[in-house]
Amino acid sequence: MYDPTVARLTYRALLGRRRALILAILPALLIVISVLVRALSGTDDQTASDLLGGFGLATMVPIIGVIAGTGAIGPEIDDGSVVYLLAKPVKRPTIILTKLFVAIAVTMAFSALPMMISGLILNGNGQQVAVAYTVAALVASIAYAAMFLLLGTVSRHAVIFGLVYALVWEALFGSLVSGARTLSVQQWALAVAKKVTDSDLVTSDVSLTTGTVLLVVVTVATTWYAGQKLRALTLAGEE
C-alpha cells in the first residue's frame, strides 16, 4: 500500500523551497524562544511544560499538520494535475496511504524533533517533560496528517478551514472550553504523554484509553473517507 513514485512526488511538493521555509518557521521560533527562556530564567520544569504544551503542541503541531496534510494532495486537485496521477495504474487507496505516510513523516520531522530539542534546552528532559511532549507530537502528527489530508481531498479551501480548526478550536476553545477539550487531538495526545511522565506537569481531560481509541478511530476513519472521496473523483473524471 505504498508507491515510491507517488511518495517521491509528494515529498517534492511538500519540501520545495517555499513550503519547506514555511514549515520551518514555527519550529525555529520554538527553539529560539526556548533558548531565550533558558537564558533568562534558567531551568524550570513548569515553564518547560507550559511552553511545550501551550505553543508547541497547541499551536505548532496542528499548523504544521495543516501545511503537510493539505499540501500532500490539495494543490494537485486545485490545479487539475491529480488527473495525471489517477490515470496511472495505482490503486486509489495506495495513493491516499502513500500521501498519508509522507504527510505524517513531514509533520513528525518538523514538530517532534524541534519539540525534543526545545525540551532539552529548557530543562534537560527533567521529569521526562521533553520525551513526553515529543511522544505527544508524534501521535498527534498521525491524526492531524490524516484529518488534514481528508480536508485537502474534499475542499478547495482546505488550508483556511485547517487553520481555523488549528487556531480557533485547538488553541482557543481547547484551552478555554472544557467540553471542547474532549474532542481535541491535543488532549488525546496529552493523555498519551501523561503516561510517559509520572509528574503532574502534563495533564489531559481524557483518559489514556479514551485518547488512544479516539486517535486511532479518527485516523482510520478520515483515511478511509479520503480514499472514498478520491475514488469518487476518479469516477467523475472517467464519466
pLDDT tens digits for 68-86?
A: 999 999 888 877 778 778 8
pLDDT of residue 179: 67
pLDDT of residue 232: 79
pLDDT of residue 238: 45
pLDDT of residue 168: 83
Q: Is 156 contained in some domain? A: yes
Look at phi and psi of residue 42 and say left if phi exceeds 0, alpha if psi is from -120 to 50, else beta: left
Q: Is 215 contained in some domain? A: yes
pLDDT of residue 120: 96
Domain count within the chain: 1
Contacts of 192 (CB under 8 A, 6+ apart): 135, 136, 139, 208, 211, 212, 215
b/e sequence 55-89, b meaning 16+ C-beta within 10 Å: bbbbbbbbbbbbbbbbbbbbbbbeeeebeebbeee
Q: Is 201 contained in some domain? A: yes
Alpha carbons 69 and 149: distance in angstroms, whole number: 4
Asked if residue 69 lies in contact with residue 144, where contact means CB atoms within 8 angstroms, the answer is yes
Q: Is 237 contained in some domain? A: no
pLDDT of residue 81: 75
Q: Is 159 contained in some domain? A: yes
Helix axes 17-41, 4-14, angle to 10 degrees: 60
Mean per-residue pLDDT of the chain: 89
Q: Is 196 contained in some domain? A: yes
Alpha carbons 173 and 129: distance in angstroms, whole number: 24
% of the chain at pLDDT higher than 70: 94
Look at phi and psi of residue 197 and say left if phi exceeds 0, alpha if psi is from -120 to 50, else beta: beta
Q: Which domain holds residue 99?
A: 4-232
Q: Is 238 contained in some domain? A: no
pLDDT of residue 41: 86
Question: From residue 15, how far is each of 3, 21, 103, 189, 212 by CA, in Å?
Answer: 18, 8, 11, 26, 30
Retrieve residue 82's grid coordinates: 491529480
**How many Cβ atoms from other residues are within 10 Å of residue 52's Cβ?**
30
Look at phi and psi of residue 127 and say left if phi exceeds 0, alpha if psi is from -120 to 50, else beta: left
Q: What is the pLDDT of residues 156-204, one digit of tens each?
A: 888 899 988 888 887 776 666 666 678 889 999 999 999 998 788 998 8
pTM of the model: 0.92
pLDDT of residue 47: 93
Asked if residue 31 lies in contact with residue 93, where contact means CB atoms within 8 angstroms, the answer is no
**How many Cβ atoms from other residues are within 10 Å of residue 8's Cβ?**
12
Retrieve residue 239's grid coordinates: 464519466
Alpha carbons 41 and 21: distance in angstroms, whole number: 30
Q: What backbone phi and psi angles, to 5 degrees, belong to 91?
A: -65, 145
Q: Is 140 contained in some domain? A: yes
User: Could you say which residues of the chain have pLDDT below 70?
Assistant: 173-180, 234-239
